[in-house]
Amino acid sequence: MAQDKPKLKLAVYWGAACGGCCVSVLDVHEKLLDILAHADLVFWPIALDIKYKDVEEMPDGSIDITLFNGAVRNSENEHMAHVLRQKSKILIAYGSCAYLGGIPGLANFSTREELLRRVYEESESLDNPQKIHPQPSTEVSEGHLHIPSFYNDVLTLGQVVDVDYYIPGCPPQSERLVEVFMDIVSGKDLPPKGSVIGASIRVQCDECKRKKSDKKGITRFYRPWEVTDDGETCLNEQGILCMGPATRAGCGVRCVEGNAPCRGCYGPLDGIGDAGARILSAIASMLDGKEPEEISRATDSIVDPAGTFYRFSLPGSKLRRKVS
Amino acid sequence: MPLTEQTKQDWSPRIVAFFCNWCTYTASDLAGVSRLRYAPSTRVIRVMCSGRIDPEFVIEAFTQGADGVLIGGCHPGDCHYSEGNYKCLRRYHLLQRVIAQMGIDQRRLRLEWISASEGKRLQEVVNEMTETLRQLGPSTIREVVQTVIK
Ligand code: SF4
Ligand code: SF4
Ligand code: FES
C-alpha cells in the first residue's frame, strides 16, 4: 500500500486496570489492520516487548496518540503517566478507570492499611503467620529490590497529568475507538481539549428500546436474581436497578440489550460534577411513596447505594473517597 | 490547615442552609423581623422549592467546608409546586444512606419542614443543629478531599 503521509505513532498503556481495555483494542478485529495501515504501534505492553527504558528514551512529543487505560494507584502508574504525557502529542484517558477511577477506584472506600490488612493478614486463602506485608524496598543478598509503592488514594489519570480527551466505557465499545481513530487520521477537526469523545451526548434511556412509562412509581428494588425480567419493560419499572437514566450513551445500551441493567460505566453527561449524586437523584425521583416509612422501605431495598451509584466514578467524584 | 487547640476553641459550626422560598426562607425572615435570637451559624441559600435541591449541592457544600447542611421546605401537602418536597424527601433518604457509607456522620445533614409562620421552629432547629455540630466538632471533609495521600 502506497503511503504518502508518514504513519502515526500509537501507544497503548495500562495503569491500574484489569486488561479489558487492552482487549477492547484487540476487539476491533480486522479493523486493526486498517488502523495499522495508518499507524505504527510503538508501545503496548500486552502485545509488544518494549521496555519502559525504551519509552523514556523516545524524544518528547514523538508519540502521536497514547491510549492510557487504568487508574493511577501506585508509583509505577504515576511515573508512566508522566512519561507518556511528555512523549505524546495527544494523551487519551481510555476507559472508565483512567477517566473516573473505575472499578479499582472502589478501593477508595477503604484505606491502604485496611486493604493490606485484609489481603495479607485476613484473607481466607492465606498462609502468612508472620503477617508479612510487601515493602517498596527490600534487602536481599544480591542487593536492593524495589517494587512500586501502593497509594492510599486511587486517582484518575486527569488528577495526575494533563489529559487531552476521555473515552468512557468499561471497556469502551471497540467501534467507537475505530471511529475516533479514523477521525484523527482523516484530519477531521478535533473537539475541544478535555472533551469526552467516542460517546453520545444523550443518556442510555434515550437509546434503550424497552417500554417505559412516565411515572415509574417504584416501591422497592430487587436483586436481579429475585425477579424474572419480562424482557421488554424498563428494568427500573420492574424494580431492577438500572443506571440508564443518568449514564451517557454510546455503548449501544449493550447491557440492557443483553437483559442486564446498565451499571453506569459510560459515566455522566457533560456538566455533571458528580456522577453518583446524579444517579442518586435520578433513582430517587422514580420512587413512589410520600410517607417517610414507605420511602425508606424503597431506599433501604438498595443494597450498597454508594458502591452502586459510584461504581465507576468514586475517585473522580466530588468526595473522591470515603472521608473517615 | 490542621486545627490547633486555639483554632478549635475559636471554631463555631458553619451550616449551609438550603431554604425553600415559600416556607422556610420566609420563616427565617419572620424570625429576623420578630427578633428571635438564634446561632449565627447558617449561610442561607434560597431555592424556589426544596425539590430543586440537587444531592450534588449537598455534597458540594461538604467538600467546600460546611460542617452541616440543613434543608428546609414546606410541610407535606403545602409545597407551592405540589410535590417538590416529596421529591426532596426521597432524595434525602437515599442521600443519608450514601453519606453514611462515605464516612460522613448522618447528623451533619438534616431536613425539616418549616412553614412561613414558624419562625420559632426555625430558631429551635438552627440552635439544635448548631449544638449537635458543636459536639461533633469541625468537619474534616474538605481537608480529606483536598489532601491526596499517596
Ligand atoms: S432505565 Fe435502563 S432499562 Fe429503563 S429505559 Fe433506561 S436504560 Fe432502558
Ligand atoms: S449499558 Fe451501561 S454498564 Fe453496560 S456498557 Fe453501556 S454504559 Fe456500560
Ligand atoms: S415550594 Fe416549598 S418545598 Fe416546594
* pLDDT tens-digit readout, A237-263: 999 999 999 999 999 999 999 999 999
- The minimum-distance atom of ligand 1 relative to the CA of A261 is 2
Q: Which residues of B touch A306 (CB under 8 A)?
A: 97-98, 101-102
Same domain, yes or no: A122 and A32: no
**Residue A266, in any domain of the structure:** yes
Q: Is the per-residue pLDDT at A33 higher than 70? A: yes
For ligand 2, the distance from its centroid to the CA atom of residue A260, given in whole angstroms, is 9
Same domain, yes or no: A73 and A222: no
Question: A308 CB under 6 A from ligand 2?
Answer: no
pLDDT per position as a tens digit, B74-118: 999 999 999 999 999 999 999 999 999 999 999 999 999 999 999
For ligand 3, the distance from its centroid to the CA atom of residue B48, given in whole angstroms, is 7
Same domain, yes or no: A85 and A168: yes
Is the whole model's pTM more than 0.90, yes or no?
yes
Q: Which of A149, A153, A314, A318 is the mutation pick for testing B, counting most B CBs within 10 A? A: A318
Q: Is the per-residue pLDDT at A100 higher than 60? A: yes
How many domains does chain A contain in total? 3
> Among A264, A108, A283, which Cα is nearest to B97's?
A283
> A242 is in which domain, residue-wise?
204-309
Using CA coordinates, name the residue in chain A closest to B86.
A290
The residues, any chain, with a CB within 8 Å of residue B128's CB and separated by 6 or more, are none
pLDDT at res. A69: 98
Same domain, yes or no: A255 and A285: yes
Q: Is the per-residue pLDDT at A68 higher than 80? A: yes
The residues, any chain, with a CB within 8 Å of residue A127's CB and separated by 6 or more, are none
Return the higher-pLDDT residue of A269 and A3: A269
**Residue A314, in any domain of the structure:** no
* Residue the block writes with cell 449544638: B131
* Of the listed ranges A177-186, A199-208, A233-242, B128-137, the one predicted with least confidence: A177-186
**Residue A319, in any domain of the structure:** no
Return the higher-pLDDT residue of A33 and A2: A33
What ipTM was predicted for this assembly?
0.93
Question: A251 CB under 6 A from ligand 2?
Answer: yes
Q: Are A305 and B97 in contact (CB under 8 A)?
A: yes
pLDDT at res. A29: 86
**Residue A109, in any domain of the structure:** no
Q: If you average pLDDT over residues A284-291, what whole number do you get?
A: 93
Domain C-terminal end among A171, A196, A221: A196
Same domain, yes or no: A14 and A158: yes
Q: What does residue B24 show for φ and ψ, rounded to 5 degrees? A: -65, -35
Domains of chain B: 12-149 (3.40.50)
**Residue A324, in any domain of the structure:** no
Same domain, yes or no: A59 and A134: no
The DSSP code for A316 is T
Question: A311 CB under 6 A from ligand 2?
Answer: no
Strand order in the sheet with A88-94: A39-43, A8-14, A63-69, A88-94, A165-167
The residues, any chain, with a CB within 8 Å of residue A178's CB and separated by 6 or more, are A28, A31, A34, A35
Same domain, yes or no: A96 and A165: yes
Judged by CB atoms closer than 8 Å, whether chains meet at B97 and A300 is answered as: yes
Using CA coordinates, name the residue in chain A closest to B83.
A290
Return the higher-pLDDT residue of A27 and A204: A204
Within 10 Å of residue A304's Cβ, how many Cβ atoms?
A: 12
Please, what is the average pLDDT of chain A? 94
**Residue A108, in any domain of the structure:** no
Please, what is the average pLDDT of chain B? 94
How many angstroms from the chain centroid is the CA of residue A294?
A: 35
In angstroms, the CA B108 to CA B91 distance is: 16
B71 burial level (CB within 10 Å; 0-12, 13-18, 19+) = buried
In angstroms, the CA B141 to CA B85 distance is: 27
- DSSP run (H or E) holding B86: helix B84-101
Q: If you average pLDDT over residues A289-305, what whole number do you get?
A: 94
Q: A149 to chain B nearest CA, in Å?
A: 8
pLDDT per position as a tens digit, B43-66: 999 999 999 999 999 999 999 999
Q: How confident is the model at residue B4 (pLDDT cuts 50, 70, 90)?
A: low
Beta-carbon-side half-sphere exposure of residue A274 (alpha carbons within 13 Å): 22
How many angstroms from the chain centroid is the CA of residue B30?
A: 19
> Among A171, A44, A165, which Cα is nearest to A102's?
A171
Question: A280 CB under 6 A from ligand 2?
Answer: no
- Work out the widest C-alpha separation in chain B, in whole angstroms: 53
Question: A208 CB under 6 A from ligand 1?
Answer: yes
Same domain, yes or no: A182 and A165: yes
**Which ligand lies nearest to the CA atom of residue B88 in the structure?**
3
Judged by CB atoms closer than 8 Å, whether chains meet at A159 and B148 is answered as: yes
pLDDT at res. A307: 98
Q: A165 to chain B nearest CA, in Å?
A: 23
> Among B146, B119, B115, which Cα is nearest to B36's?
B119
Q: Is the per-residue pLDDT at A63 higher than 70? A: yes
The DSSP code for B108 is G
Q: Is B120 left (phi over 0), alpha (psi -120 to 50) or beta?
A: alpha
Same domain, yes or no: A12 and A77: yes
Q: Is the per-residue pLDDT at B6 higher than 90? A: no
**Residue A316, in any domain of the structure:** no
For ligand 1, the distance from its centroid to the CA atom of residue A230, given in whole angstroms, is 13
- Alpha carbon nearest to ligand 2 atom 4, residue: A255
Q: Is the per-residue pLDDT at A2 higher than 60? A: no
**Residue A57, in any domain of the structure:** yes
Same domain, yes or no: A143 and A157: no
Q: Which residues of B touch A280 (CB under 8 A)?
A: 55, 91, 94-95, 98
What lines the ligand 3 site, CB under 6 Å? B 20, 22-23, 49-51, 73-74, 79-81, 84-85
- Give the 3-state secondary structure of A242-304: CCHHHCECCCCCHHHHCCCCCCCCCCCCCCCCCHHHHHHHHHHCCECCCCHHHHHHHHHCCCC
Which cell numbers in the block locate residue B146?
483536598
Q: Is the per-residue pLDDT at B24 higher than 80? A: yes
The residues, any chain, with a CB within 8 Å of residue A200's CB and separated by 6 or more, are A206, A207, A248, A249, A250
Q: How confident is the model at residue B2 (pLDDT cuts 50, 70, 90)?
A: low
Which cell numbers in the block locate residue A79?
511515573
**Which ligand lies nearest to the CA atom of residue A253 in the structure?**
2
- Alpha carbon nearest to ligand 1 atom 4, residue: A234
Q: Which residues of B touch A317 (CB under 8 A)?
A: 59
Which residues are paired to B42 by β-bridges?
A: B15
User: What Å distances lie between residue B46 and A86, B52, B70, CA to CA?
Assistant: 47, 10, 12
Q: Are A39 and A45 in contact (CB under 8 A)?
A: no
Give percent of chain B above pLDDT 90.
93
Same domain, yes or no: A51 and A32: yes
User: What Å distances lie between residue B150 and A112, A154, B142, CA to CA?
Assistant: 9, 8, 17
For ligand 3, the distance from its centroid to the CA atom of residue A324, given in whole angstroms, is 33
The DSSP code for B60 is H
pLDDT at res. A243: 97
Q: If you average pLDDT over residues B15-37, what whole number do you get?
A: 95
Q: How confident is the model at residue B7 (pLDDT cuts 50, 70, 90)?
A: low
Q: How confident is the model at residue A77 (pLDDT cuts 50, 70, 90)?
A: very high
**Which ligand lies nearest to the CA atom of residue A174 in the structure?**
2
Name the A residues in 220-259 with CB < 8 Å from any B CB: none
**Which ligand lies nearest to the CA atom of residue B24 in the structure?**
3
Read off the CATH number of the domain in which A67 is found. 3.40.50.700
Same domain, yes or no: A40 and A59: yes
Q: Is the per-residue pLDDT at A150 higher than 60? A: yes
